[in-house]
Amino acid sequence: MRLYLASTSPARRALLAQTGIEPVLVAPGVDEDAAVAAAAAALGRNLTGPELVAMLAVAKAGAVADARIAGSPVDGFVFGGDSAFEVDGVLHGKPHEPAVARERWRQMLAAGGGTLWSGHCVVDRRADRPADPAADRTGGTGRAGTVPPVRQVDPSDGGPLGPAGHLGAVAPGGSTLVAAGDRVVAVDSAVLTFADDVSVDEIDAYVATGEPLEVAGAFTIDGRAAAYITRIDGAPSAVVGLSLPVLRSMLLRGFGIAWHDLWSM
């Protein structure tokens, strides 16, 4: 079973590879700033964290699902993801510039932490996919504290955001999953706590490595910043770039596909 990753993120690819999945990487070519601006204009307000990451995940997955790869149509599942870090009600994406990264770190440390929002979208583009997309959806509530079941929704009821419009109300540290036609969309989140004794010199040294400049929130937990994070409430993989437990549930509950069906043998 082939999984196409609508991203060129080394972290997401490495995360999947560690679990035995070798995805096909495809750059989605989505203008994220323009997509967010258009959505905010249509809504007449700023997007919430869950709305933003879900909307961009849908846009990225959709762009690759409808593309031709090496002259052939996609045959398998397409995953798109996006992340944003929220501190005191303000969403932070990639800082790009050292000065911005340093200021982000000062704000995060002053607040003590924040919430990492991780958006997911899986589109079914199997050549032999069932005519009824809902046929393989198994639901299942699981134990308290585990990934919730997939809810069936009408994409036309999501307003300007489409399926992502059903994912705006997620509590920090929680997750939610919805199915709309040939796709399942989800948001997972993790609440992070930072060490309370990180110095200005440590911030400057970290920013000087360049690591935080092109990652949401200006930090990674699979790199040098791991030593500054004292607690994670939620799936650690969500902070890296995609929530493995949520992706597993999307495939199993949304399409009847077991996680090991995607393993590279």
- Phi/psi of residue 119, nearest 5 degrees: -95, 145
Give Cβ neighbours of residue 224 (< 8 Å, ≥ 6 apart): 206, 209, 211
Burial (Cβ within 10 Å: 0-12, 13-18, ≥19) of residue 37: exposed
C-alpha distances out from residue 258 to 105, 120, 143, 251, Å: 39, 18, 19, 7
What are the catalytic residues?
Answer: 82
Rg (CA), the chain: 18
Provide the b/e sequence for 108-135 (b: ≥16 CB within 10 Å). bbeeebbbbbbbbbbbbbeeebeeebee
Diameter over CA atoms, the chain: 59
